[in-house]
Each structure stands twice: as C-alpha cells, then as structure tokens.
Amino acid sequence: MGLRQDIILQPISELSIREAITLGPEATVRECADQMRRHKLGCVVVVDSEGKPVGKFTERLLMKFLVDHSHSLDEPVKGFMYQESNSMKESDTIARLLARMRTKMLRFVPVVDDAGKVIGLTGQKGLIEYIAEHFPRQVKTRELKSKLFMDQREGA
Amino acid sequence: MKRKRRDAPPGDFQDPLSNYDPPIYADDMEKSLCEDSILDLKTTPFRTVSPDMKVCDAIKLMVEIDVACLLVTEGDKLLGIFSERDVLNKVTQDFDIASQKPIGQVMTQDPMAVYETDTPADALNIMATAGFRHIPVLDVDDKVVGILGPRRITAYLQHYFE
C-alpha cells in the first residue's frame, strides 16, 4: 500500500499522539504559558470537570494577547481561548484529520475517547512525522552549516 | 590542433547506468514527495526583518500579517528565525523587559534550511527530525527565496485527496 492509501485507511492512532496539557477554564493565561513552555508544546486544551474539551489556548492566541495590552496575564483563560476544540476520535482516519486541519486551519487537534474525554493531542507535527517515516532514505545527513554548492571549484 | 575523435572499440562500452534501478513508488503522492522540487510547493510570501527590530514590534507585525515566524536577514544573508516559540520561551516570562530587546538577541540563530533543488520529502524529514516547524528555502547563492511551513505542506498534500 502507498502513502495515499495509508492516509485514507489508517486511523489517527497511527500518528504520534502527544500527552495533552489540560487545564480548567479558570486557569490563568500565565499558567497556560508556563505549562506550554515547560512541556515544549504550543497548545493547552481547556477541559471541564469531566475532562471533556471546552476550548483551546495556543501560541497564536498568546501572541494576540501580548499585542493587546489591555489585559493581565493573570486573567482566566476562559475569556481568551478558542471556544471550539475541534477534537477527533482515535478511530477517525488520518485523511479526515488532514481535511479538518486544512479547512479549519488547525495546528492542534485534541484526541478524545468514546466518552469524549481528552486522551492526547496530535496535529501538524504528528502528521509530518508520520509522512517522514515513509521516506527514511531522505533523512538529511548534511551538516547544519555545510554548503550544498562550493564557492570555488576544486582542483587544477 | 583539432583532435580526431576515436570511436570506442566495439563491445568495450559499458553503460554506467545499466545497473541503475529507478526507485519504485507506490503512488503519485510518494513520487511527487520524492521527486518534485521544493518550489512546487507554495513557498512565498515570506517576510524578512532586520535584527534591530524590537521584539514588541515583531510580535505586532506577526499578528497583523498572520504569520508564525519572521526571517531575520542582513542584506541577503539569513541570520535567524524569530518564531512564536521564541516568544513563548524567551519573551513571555519577563515581557516588559524582553519585548524591548532587538530580535537579534532573541531569535533562533543559524536555522536549518533547505535549497530550492531539494525535495518536499527532504523538507519533511528536517521538520520531523530536527523539530523545526518552519524552514527557510535558499537558492544557490544562499539567498532566501521562500519559507516552508506545515500549513503549506498540508495544502500541498490535500490536493491528493480532493
């Protein structure tokens, strides 16, 4: 089977699913930023008391927040988050995820179980790693600062 | 003096490509990823800024033009990338002081780049292995000619499913 067929048939569980950062809606924007920095992850999934997603706070929203000087970092995130989490189930296909990410311009997609509780996070990074695994021969061996072309020709 | 071209003795010639097995791809999508040029993807527009720009101005510009990173250049030379992740890691904690610094002090220096002759699979592998979301695209003279990010890659992949 080729990559296209794999993407059409395989479920999201085949992607690398990262542990999601989950916080309640009363958590502050500062707490969200601290957690994102600590976990090296650009998204916090905001969940209700049952662990079901009610929103998302991302690096992009943090940028907008910083530009707008009228709010304090200590205000609750519920006033600044995306109200829709756009979560998907592990059993949904990767093709469906790709289409959802493209049409809704998503970077992060929370993954939920059958009860709707957050069990992880995937998105652009998971998809890129999945595709890259199909092309191990292409892994770059070029050193970081090496040049592809020489400045001067070698030899006589 | 013009030399006469000698014909190779019959039977001596060995085709150096006679043992070459061209790669076999399972579908068009795999072939495109491995054989297209980076320039077959959308790599423009991109925005370059000077390393002297203030962090607060850079953040404002990124929000205004809706981009996740800026390429920091001096003349044609790429010095670094200033991204949302740099803001999260180096600016948010101490925003009042850090936002007044020049981005040259906060940017990610010497980012990994791809050349316009590389393939989309090359770029994907750099993203996956090095963990960068945005990769500058350079020409033969190391001049920045574009930038590749996940949103442009998903757009490129999506047309195989329409």
Above 50 in pLDDT, residue B88?
A: yes
What ipTM did this prediction achieve? 0.82
**DSSP letters of A6-73?**
HHHHSBGGGS--BPPEEE-TTSBHHHHHHHHHHHT-SEEEEE-TTS-EEEEEEHHHHHHHHH-TTS-T
Q: Which of residues 13-52 of A touch B (CB under 8 A)?
A: 33, 36-37, 42
CB A15 within 8 A of CB A125: no
Between A8-12, A79-83, B21-25, B147-151, the lowest mean confidence (pLDDT) is in B21-25
Banded pLDDT at B1 (limits 50, 70, 90): low
Average pLDDT over residues A42-54: 96
Each domain of chain A, given as residue ranges in start order, spans: 3-134
- What domains can be seen in chain B, in order of their start residue? 37-161 (3.10.580.10)
Closest partner CB to B128 (pick from A8, A107, A132): A132
Asked if pLDDT for residue A141 goes beyond 50, the answer is no
| pLDDT number for residue A14 | 94
Q: Is A5 on the interface with B (CB under 8 A)?
A: yes
pLDDT at A120: 96
pLDDT, mean over chain B: 90
What are phi and psi for residue A109, nearest 5 degrees?
-130, 115
Q: Where are the beta strands (DSSP E) in A48-135?
A: 53-58, 88-89, 108-112, 118-123
- Give the residue-averaged pLDDT of B106-125: 92
- What contacts B99, CB < 8 A, 6 or more positions away? A66, B54, B55, B56, B59, B91
The confidence score (pLDDT) of residue B67 equals 94
Select the more confidently predicted residue: B12 or A82.
Answer: A82
> Measured between alpha carbons, how far is B147 from B47 in angstroms, rounded to an integer?
9
Minimal-distance CA residue of chain A relative to B125: A132
Name the average pLDDT for chain A: 88
CATH code of domain A3-134:
3.10.580.10
More confident position, B116 or B16: B116
Over residues A72-92, the mean pLDDT reads 92
Q: What average pLDDT does the segment A81-99 reach? A: 93
d(CA A33, CA A21): 11
| pLDDT value for A139 | 55
Q: Per-residue confidence at A77, pLDDT binned at 50, 70, 90?
A: very high
In tens, the pLDDT along B142-154 reads 999 999 999 899 8
